[in-house]
Amino acid sequence: MKNSSYLFVPGKSKKMMEKAIISIAENIIIDLEDSVALSAKVDVRKEVEIFLKNNNISKNIYIRINDVSTSYWKEDIDLVIETDVQGIVLPKAESQHKLKEICHYIENGLHQSGRMRPDFEVIPLIESAKGIHFAYEIGCSHPYIKRMAFGSIDYSLDIGVNLSRVGTELLYAKSQIVNASRAAEIEGPIDAVFPEINDERALMNDAKAGKQLGFKAKLAIHPKQLETIHQIFKPSEKEVLEAKEIVASFEAAELRGLASIQVNERLVDYPVYKMAKLLLE
């Protein structure tokens, strides 16, 4: 369970990147897009390259590149290839055709540099109505796409609604991403950021709601959000013990020819058993 938290950090701030490295974040996303002014794109990219080459970082590092409608994305990917990071986060993912183009560009770059890596990742950030509509096709685009992520702020802007605490306006979009991920046979998706840094209770409720829908991880915008995210998305000791008991009891019953039993007054059949096995794995 090393992929429950993804911490955004602006590429323009060396200090914040240093703090992210020593935080409890499991994955770090260095941002070259929204947090960087147009006039600073080239300089910030160079600073991020220097930072990555001068630091031995044990965490998974991703680069959120600039949108493919800009002139910056190819140079952003060249940086990624040169620094051997885990992968990229692609903003405003909307088209299978464009995803394939980007993945092939990366593949060719890795091949030419002698750095071929089957574990390289492209995480499409789904943050528009069009992206939601084509989420399944996006998820099927290339083996580099192992999971998708949801961007609620840009999505709400695209469909013309205000984000609420309850999140009813996002239910359809979130469910679509979860369902598309499963249909595409990739990992469960990453839930959107929670924009209020100091409201731990609201963050916890938001994370619980995302997990209940089928999200397996969450984006974060500040290190203080990470502990709560881990608490929600990682199985508790109680859940692990319950899963072990279900698996052991069901497998013993199965040897006796039974496919439906009770464990602690709970009906356990094959779907419940498989869910417990999945949690333990």
Contact assessment for residue 70 and residue 37, using Cβ atoms and an 8 Å cutoff: no
Q: Residues 6 or more apart from 175 whose CB is under 8 A from it?
A: 213, 214
User: Residue 65 is which amino acid?
Assistant: I
Best CA proximity match to 72, nearest among 40, 105, 42, 52: 42
Contact assessment for residue 94 and residue 68, using Cβ atoms and an 8 Å cutoff: no
Burial readout 220-232 (b: 16 or more C-beta within 10 A, e: otherwise)? bbbbebbebbbeb
Tell me if 154 is assigned to a ligand binding site.
Answer: yes
Helix-, strand-, coil-residue percentages of the chain, each rounded to 5: 50, 15, 35
Tell me if 199 is assigned to a ligand binding site.
Answer: no
Instruction: Name the binding residues for substrate.
Output: 64, 127
**Residue positions forming the annotated binding site:** 64, 127, 154
Residues forming the annotated binding site for Mg(2+)? 127, 154
